[in-house]
């Protein structure tokens, strides 16, 4: 099974020695929107967004992070650090030659987009974060602790594929029927084996568990820079996501000057599967109000 069912071409670029897959629509002359997925996911999660944004005159590029979707999948979990994924985004934007980009990020993809924006405000036109700002509040979790360096985490995530089991997938959405058999198969298809699931466990292990960890310090640095962010920002949270939803969005709104906040009443963690029509209209409206470059 293909890792997506778009009517847009597959493309690849070599990033840090790995082949990164992305799909795109539009020409180099059009304004670019780069979409970044979170954990357990891939570019497939943005399949409903393209028609809305392309119709509004935007060039769309949806990436598969290294370790996900149609991209290469390094099988060493320690490869998948925050810096690795953050560097990959910067290299991708440079290699493709994108200027004044709009970044749309979900969950960890949002935090990677936020890190790029802080460091490259000169090249970021606008920022959209959906159920993101992950772990800015740094709430310890016993479950994350078990997954962090234990053999149990390897067994549950890589051997048993627990995050992509039927019940786990449906627990990530508000409208359970939206994840029909075919959709669930698309979410699972990039991760058919133990080796292919290293990125999933890597993202889970990136979650901070203590103030002395590198990732905690890295996220704290991002948080400290948010009051200086001068990029138009749209924050989207969903009431049905207990970890990254409305509460995290409100934390970000308090830190980012002039950030807009929208809250999806009927959305879970994979909010783009619940209401892609409404989310796309919010994004198109937000981008339509940007000042001309």
- Summarised one tens digit per residue, pLDDT across range 76-124 is 999 999 999 999 999 999 999 999 999 999 999 999 999 999 999 999 9
**Residue 33 pLDDT exceeds 70:** yes
DSSP run (H or E) holding 102: strand 101-106
Evaluate whether residue 214 is within a structural domain: yes
Q: Is residue 1 part of a domain?
A: no
- In the three-class reduction of DSSP (H, G, I as helix; E, B as strand; rest coil), residue 248 is classed as helix
293, part of any domain: no
What is the tens place of the pLDDT at every residue in 149-178?
678 889 989 999 999 999 999 999 999 999
DSSP SS3 for 189: coil
- Residue 23 CA to residue 37 CA, distance in Å, equals 13
Range of the domain at 39: 10-288
Query: Which of the two residues, 217 and 127, has the higher pLDDT score?
Result: 127
Query: Is 25 contained in some domain?
Result: yes
Planar angle of CA 289, 48, 111, nearest 5 degrees: 65
Domain count, the chain: 1
Domain-located, residue 5 = no
* 4 domain-assigned: no
**CATH number of the domain within which 84 lies:** 3.40.50.1820
Taking the model in full, what pTM does it have? 0.94
pLDDT score of 224 more than 50? yes
């Amino acid at each position: 099974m293909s890792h997506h069912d778009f009517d847009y071409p597959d493309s690849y670029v070599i990033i840090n020695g790995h082949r990164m897959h992305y799909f795109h629509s539009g020409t180099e002359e059009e304004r670019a929107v780069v979409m970044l997925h979170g954990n357990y996911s891939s570019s497939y999660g943005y399949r409903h967004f393209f028609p809305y944004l392309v119709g509004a005159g935007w060039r769309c590029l949806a990436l598969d992070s290294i370790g996900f979707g149609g991209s290469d999948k390094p099988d060493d979990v320690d490869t998948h650090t925050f810096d690795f994924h953050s560097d990959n985004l910067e290299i991708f934007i440079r290699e493709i030659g994108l200027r004044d980009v709009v970044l749309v990020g979900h969950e960890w993809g949002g935090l990677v987009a936020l890190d790029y924006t802080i460091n490259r405000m000169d090249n970021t036109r606008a920022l959209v974060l959906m159920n993101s700002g992950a772990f800015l509040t740094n709430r310890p979790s016993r479950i994350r602790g078990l997954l962090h360096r234990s053999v149990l985490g390897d067994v549950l995530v890589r051997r048993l594929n627990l995050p992509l089991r039927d019940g786990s997938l449906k627990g990530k959405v508000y409208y359970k029927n939206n994840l029909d058999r075919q959709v669930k198969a698309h979410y699972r298809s990039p991760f058919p084996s133990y080796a292919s699931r290293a990125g999933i466990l890597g993202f889970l292990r990136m979650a901070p568990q203590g103030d002395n960890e590198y990732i905690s310090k890295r996220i704290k640095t991002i948080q400290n820079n948010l009051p200086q962010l001068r990029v138009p920002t749209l924050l989207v949270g969903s009431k049905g996501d207990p970890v990254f939803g409305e509460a995290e969005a409100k934390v970000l709104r308090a830190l980012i000057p002039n950030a807009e906040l929208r809250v999806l009443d009927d959305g879970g963690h994979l909010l783009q599967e619940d209401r892609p029509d409404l989310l796309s209209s919010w994004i198109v409206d937000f981008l339509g109000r940007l000042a001309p470059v």
